[in-house]
């Protein structure tokens, strides 16, 4: 993606339900031209880790994507 942090605000401030939908779309469903790069998703995982236990599964999903076990 051309702007690495374009969605970081959503990751930092979005609700759990919003983030579940957001991650499902960007990590598995979006067109190939929209797939985020691994560095961007790594930043999402770090931001979600900081949000606490409620977002632990979302952070884990991002880490799986980065490690190549996701998409």
pLDDT at 1: 43
Dihedral of alpha carbons 29, 27, 56, 44, sign: negative
Provide the residue ranges of all domains of the chain, joining segments of one domain with +. 8-67
pLDDT at 6: 74
Is the predicted pLDDT of residue 65 greater than 50, yes or no? yes
* Token duo for residue 30: 């979006």
Do 46 and 13 contact (CB within 8 A), yes or no? no
Is the predicted pLDDT of residue 41 greater than 60, yes or no? yes
The pTM assigned to this predicted structure is: 0.85
């Amino acid at each position: 993606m051309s702007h690495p942090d374009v969605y970081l605000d959503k990751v930092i401030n979005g609700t759990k339900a919003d983030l579940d939908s957001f991650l499902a779309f960007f990590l598995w469903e979006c067109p190939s031209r929209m797939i985020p790069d691994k560095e961007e998703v790594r930043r999402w995982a770090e931001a979600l880790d900081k949000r606490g236990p409620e977002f632990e599964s979302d952070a884990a999903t991002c880490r799986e994507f980065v490690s190549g076990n996701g998409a």
